[in-house]
Structures are given as C-alpha cells and as structure tokens.
Structure 1
Amino acid sequence: METDCLFCRIVAGEIPATIVRETERTLAFRDIYPKAPTHVLVIPKEHYGDVAVLAESDPGLAGEVLATAGAVAEAEGLLGDGFRLMFNTGVNGGQEVFHVHAHVLGGAPLGPMIAR
C-alpha cells in the first residue's frame, strides 16, 4: 500500500467509500464529486500509478478492472442507453489521483468527449 495514496487508503478501509462492487482484486465505489447521475470509480486493489503502467505490468488485472467496470455498468442499468468508460492518465490527461482508476459515467447524455 502507498501510505499517501487516497485509493490505497480506501482499499485498506482507512477512508470510507460507498462500495458498489468488489472482487478479490478490484474495488468499485461511488465518486464523491459525481460528474454524471451515475459516476463510479473502478480500481485495482494493488497500487499502479496509471493505466499504462497497469497494462504493461499486469494485463490480466487490467482485464479484471474492465470486467468489473462492465459489471458495474450492467448493475447500474447503463447498458441500454450507454455509458462512458474513461481513464485519465497523467497531468495533461486530467489525472488527479495517481492510482489507476476507471470512471464509469452514465445515466444522462454526456456530451462531447472533450470540451474546449
């Protein structure tokens, strides 16, 4: 565990979160500052800084993160109208917490991919 990592502390139970799905190696919880009616974060329990590092280091776990995200979308009723799955990577990509996480967003039209 990275002791200064917010998401590692959530995995350790030190910081509360509203858990919506958990597997042996992944955790999904509601974003505390949602950007859509449904906004769930999906993380690996093990610390990886971003999705590129995760994909290179443990492709199987990367697949598990995607599978958990798909299960969350289904459980949240997002499959019919669609949803967005997004990984922000690095400062220019808008990453704020440097523990890889997927955003599952839906429940309303989300607009363009990038607003200028």
Structure 2
Amino acid sequence: MTLKAAYDPDNIFARILRGEIPSVKIWEDEHVLAFMDVFPQSEGHVLLISKTSTARNLLEVEADTLARLTEATRRTARAVDRALNPEGFQIMQLNGDAGGQTVFHLHVHIIPRWADRPMKGHGHAPMADTETLRGLADRIAAALD
C-alpha cells in the first residue's frame, strides 16, 4: 500500500479492537491498547495502537492521538525495561509498504534487545505460543507505573 489510500476497517488491528480477533493485552485505556506481537521479533515485542483513530500512518494521525500514543509508548517501554531487563530496545514505527509497514493502522513497536540474541526479521518471525506471550504480558503489566 502506498502512503495515500483509504483506511481498511477490516485490517487485523481494527478487528482486534472490535474483539473479532483475540490479542494478548498488556494494558488499555480509552485511547490506547498495548498488546503482545504474536510474531515477535524478540522476546517481549509489544505493539501499541490508537483505539480512537483510523490513521494508517504517521502522516495521517491527529496531533492529540500521537501525543497519547507517544506517552503510552514511553510508559510501556519503561515497564518492558523493568520486567525484562533488556540491554536496549528499539522503538519502531513504519510507514507504507516501502517503509516496511504490513498492517495499515498506525502502530508502534517496542522491541527489547540483548547483545547475544539476534532479532528476527519484521514479518518473518514464527508465531509465538499464547501462554508464553501471556506470561510476558503479565510481567510487563506488573511493572507499569
């Protein structure tokens, strides 16, 4: 998809928000949902999405929505750090096909990193076990401030 196209209300994140597809939630409020990536590039890979916006990418997002999503990312990254003690982490936000975006609903990745663990490629990681993801989500949720 290009950067300029109509929002698809049947994208996987929209379906998760409607409860049509399950997710392993870490936390949510009226504006943001934080949940585990089922195809994690690294242990503890988290996704954050707006529950109120149909922006497909950074170019389309409303300023107040971006501010909420950014604060949610910071809060969740702190919890990931406390819960999993990574040596670093990546915050990724991809835009358009050429930019690596695969789901066209604005989202942010938090990917914990360790020097001795290679990161799997975006869109190339195997599907994770739900119980493993639930355990990680619980640890991260317990570390939220």
TM-score normalised by the shorter chain: which range applies?
0.7 to 0.9
In structure 2, what is the equivalent of residue 25 of structure 1? 31
Shift in Å, 1:14: 1.1
Q: Does 1:16 align with 2:33?
A: no
Mapped to 2, the partners of 1:25 and 1:3 lie a distance apart of 17
Unaligned stretches of 5+ residues in structure 1:
112-116
Unaligned stretches of 5+ residues in structure 2:
1-6, 119-145
Which has the larger share of strand? 1
Amino acid at match of 1:51: L
Amino acid at match of 2:96: G
- TM-score by length of structure 2 reads 0.67
In structure 1, what is the equivalent of residue 66 of structure 2? 62
Which has the larger share of helix? 2
- Tell me the percent identity: 31
Mapped to 2, the partners of 1:81 and 1:68 lie a distance apart of 21
Classify the secondary structure of the residue corresponding to 1:10: helix
Q: Deviations over 1:46-93 (max 9, x none)?
A: 221112211xxx111101111111111111226874321110100111
In structure 2, what is the equivalent of residue 114 of structure 1? none
Match of 1:48 among 31, 48, 55: 55
Shift in Å, 1:3: 3.4
| Count of aligned pairs | 109
**Contact 2:86-2:114 at 8 Å conserved across structures:** no
Over alpha carbons, which structure has the higher Rg?
A: 2
Mapped to 1, the partners of 2:44 and 2:94 lie a distance apart of 17
In structure 2, what is the equivalent of residue 94 of structure 1? 100
